[in-house]
């Protein structure tokens, strides 16, 4: 077992369990894609970025398989799917007990993560008061850096 596999033991366990439960196969492509995903610096990746990361490891996997595997990982609860501003889907490892929300800079697009228990509690309360049981939520803050010009700006 490689180092990165050790760091993410929960992930491989979860994947194995999901595959077994649904009578799906362990394939090299799936392992390679997960390894590429783990090794990426960026936490928020889209299918194309992941495809490139896989290629950079010298592997040749079709984009369709990337999409199919990301869908599988989402169903298995291993990644979360988001969307932010543009149309494309963004995926992120769903590390157990590490829920967080996102603040996105409207100048440079940088994504900061934060946690706030108070807001989480209020969300539960709101859903209940409307007669619903909360399943998940999406909270994104769009904001501008207080220092001008934005120090993260690239363009």
Name the one range near a copy of itself by CB under 8 A: 2-10, 23-31, 55-63, 140-148: 140-148
Minimum CB–partner distance for residue 154 and a copy of itself (Å): 17
Minimum CB–partner distance for residue 28 and a copy of itself (Å): 30
Is 57 one of the binding residues for DNA (CB under 7 A)?
no
- Residue 45's alpha-carbon distances to 48, 119, 123, 140, in angstroms, are 8, 26, 27, 17
Is 84 one of the binding residues for DNA (CB under 7 A)?
no
Is 149 one of the binding residues for a copy of itself (CB under 8 A)?
no
Q: Which of 5, 29, 65, 123 binds a copy of itself (CB under 8 A)?
A: 123
Give per-residue burial for 101-134: e unless 16+ CB within 10 Å, then b.
bbebbebeeebeeeeeeeeeeeeeeeeeeeeeee
């Amino acid at each position: 077992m490689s180092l990165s596999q050790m760091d993410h033991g929960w992930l491989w366990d979860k994947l194995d369990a999901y595959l077994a439960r649904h009578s799906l196969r362990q394939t090299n492509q799936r392992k390679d894609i997960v390894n590429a995903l783990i090794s990426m610096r960026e936490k928020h990746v889209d299918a194309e970025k992941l495809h490139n990361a896989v290629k950079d490891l010298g592997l040749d996997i079709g984009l369709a398989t990337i999409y199919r595997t990301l869908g599988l990982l989402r169903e298995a609860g291993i990644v979360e799917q988001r969307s932010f501003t543009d149309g494309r889907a963004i995926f992120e490892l769903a590390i157990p007990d590490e829920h967080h929300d996102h603040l996105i800079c409207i100048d440079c697009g940088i994504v900061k993560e934060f946690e706030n228990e108070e807001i989480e509690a209020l969300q539960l309360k709101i859903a209940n008061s409307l007669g619903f049981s909360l399943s998940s939520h999406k909270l994104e803050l769009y904001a501008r850096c207080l220092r001008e010009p934005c120090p993260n700006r690239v363009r």
